[in-house]
């Protein structure tokens, strides 16, 4: 999972991209990068490095990123180590000048990469984006269309027809303009906004979440549709075209975990969805157990814990205090790193848990590493009984579309009943929401539920690669 942003039509494009990336930092802390396009002398400027946004860039770096348009990326790697060769944004100069960022994962990566290699294409990285970029550039150069937008549509249509997986893309076509598109099922988010500059001209922002748009003062226009391409030319003219029409399947984890609570995706506010999930979760808590305190696992589950506590008429309390200088453990690479991060991440308020029966609420239970450690912490600090409730149904299948659980064997709920999960975690009981609850909270919105029921949007390929 990554955060992406594109700003078009303002001399402060690179600075605004930097500010937007700070707002999207929760989507990945491994690396960050910004690329700008300068019409004269026809040049891309780029700065990217490993680390968080605030450490990658300083004022001098931003001052060198000239141009009226820029794209940016903040990343977490879903496989292996973070490598400098895989950092985004990426660019090609031949057969056409093109620069891109993306969020997601290509599930048929190896098949497409081998096809390109057989056509004498060579690669500088193991990142999905480079492969998408080669496909686009080749198709664009072959198009017989006379207008730029029509040629762009031809190239994006090639990507949408050949590239399987969940992905959102923002790019620059030389100095001609900015484009963006989502995969045919819209699995990964992408939102557009605009604002009027001091000179009366309109600038545009495309990004992963509305929180970045609102912070920068852009009016939120709408979500880019699944299979839709957007083109903004140098004059500021916006053109759109729907290239495929398939069932939209946005990732439900965006509402449950990844997106900021102040963001709105597909016209559904993240905070409100989480609050409703907590209310619905109350129906799955047995009435014969005594709960003294309902407590969130900070921070994403706080709205759900509030909703659950209100429904149960039990006090809501913050019993865990989070160290905000530690990475989100779910997106910290490697099991050992996750265990260390969990130990550093939380401290317990003894007075709120000693002798109490605590119902912990979290957004999900994936591997169980964090959950197990937190339950141990609470019992070490005097909790009498600790129950665990998840706003996400049991995750039992791998994700091939950009989330870091590539194997069923890593998933705690795989081939385990809730009672077995509870025993493994050391909890006194474990309770889950259902897929029906998710559908209710999302007001009937269709969504990708492959990790819950194994129904994938695309065929599962052998040797699937996981890279964001």
Residues with catalytic roles:
2
Find out whether 282 and 308 touch, Cβ atoms under 8 Å.
Answer: yes
DSSP of 349-395, one letter per residue? -HHHHTT-EEEEEES--SSSHHHHHHHHHHHHTT-SEEEEEESSPP-
φ/ψ region of 69 (left if φ > 0, alpha if ψ in -120 to 50, else beta) reads beta
Q: How far apart are CA 195 and CA 282, in angstroms?
A: 42
Report the C-alpha gap between 231 and 318 in whole angstroms. Answer: 46
Looking at the DSSP bridge assignments, the partners of residue 167 are: 104
Q: Say if residues 411 and 405 touch (Cβ distance below 8 Å).
A: yes
DSSP state of 191: E
Cα–Cα distance for residue pair 34/56, rounded to 1 Å: 10
Closest C-alpha among 355, 362, 246 to residue 300: 362
CA atoms within 13 A on the CB side of 62: 19
Contacting residues for 173 by C-beta, under 8 A, at least 6 apart = 96, 97, 98, 140, 148, 152, 179
């Amino acid at each position: 999972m990554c955060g992406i942003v594109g700003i078009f039509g303002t001399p402060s494009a690179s600075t605004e991209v930097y500010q937007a990336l700070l707002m999207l930092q929760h989507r990945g802390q491994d690396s960050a990068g910004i690329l700008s396009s300068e019409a004269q002398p026809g040049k891309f400027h780029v700065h990217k490095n490993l680390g968080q946004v605030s450490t990658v860039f300083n004022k001098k770096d931003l001052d060198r990123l000239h141009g009226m348009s820029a794209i940016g990326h903040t990343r977490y790697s879903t496989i292996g180590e973070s490598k400098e060769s895989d950092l985004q944004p990426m660019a090609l100069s031949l057969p056409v000048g093109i620069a891109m960022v993306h969020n997601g994962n290509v599930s048929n990566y190896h098949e497409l990469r081998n096809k390109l290699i057989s056509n004498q294409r060579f690669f500088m990285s193991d990142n999905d984006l480079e492969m998408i970029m080669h496909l686009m550039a080749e198709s664009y150069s072959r198009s017989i269309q006379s207008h730029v937008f029509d040629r762009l549509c031809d190239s994006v249509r090639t990507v949408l027809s050949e590239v399987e997986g969940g992905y959102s893309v923002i790019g620059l076509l030389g100095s001609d303009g900015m484009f963006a598109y989502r995969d045919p099922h819209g699995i990964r988010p992408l939102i557009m906004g605009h604002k009027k500059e001091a000179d009366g001209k309109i600038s545009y922002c495309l990004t992963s979440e509305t929180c970045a748009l609102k912070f920068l003062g852009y009016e939120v226009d709408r979500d880019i549709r699944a299979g839709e391409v957007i083109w903004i030319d140098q004059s500021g003219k916006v053109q759109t075209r729907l290239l495929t029409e398939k069932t939209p399947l946005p990732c439900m984890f965006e509402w449950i975990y990844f997106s900021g609570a102040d963001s709105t995706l597909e016209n559904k506010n993240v905070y409100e969805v989480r609050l409703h999930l907590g209310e619905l979760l109350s129906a799955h808590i047995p009435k014969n157990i005594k709960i003294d305190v309902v407590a969130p696992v900070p921070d994403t589950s706080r709205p759900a814990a509030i909703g659950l506590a209100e429904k149960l008429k039990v006090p809501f309390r913050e019993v865990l205090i989070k160290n905000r200088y530690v990475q989100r453990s779910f997106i910290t690479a490697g099991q050992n790193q996750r265990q260390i991060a969990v130990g550093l991440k939380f401290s317990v308020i003894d007075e709120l848990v000693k002798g109490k029966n605590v119902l912990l609420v979290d957004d999900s239970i994936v591997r169980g590493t964090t959950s197990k450690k937190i339950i141990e912490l609470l019992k070490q600090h005097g909790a009498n009984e600790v129950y665990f409730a998840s706003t996400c149904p049991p995750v039992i299948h791998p994700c091939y579309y950009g989330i870091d659980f590539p194997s069923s064997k890593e998933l705690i709920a795989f081939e385990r009943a809730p009672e077995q999960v509870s025993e493994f975690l050391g909890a006194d009981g474990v309770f889950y929401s259902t897929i029906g609850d998710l559908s209710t909270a999302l007001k009937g919105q269709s969504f990708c539920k492959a990790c819950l029921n194994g129904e994938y949007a695309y065929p599962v390929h052998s040797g699937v690669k996981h890279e964001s």
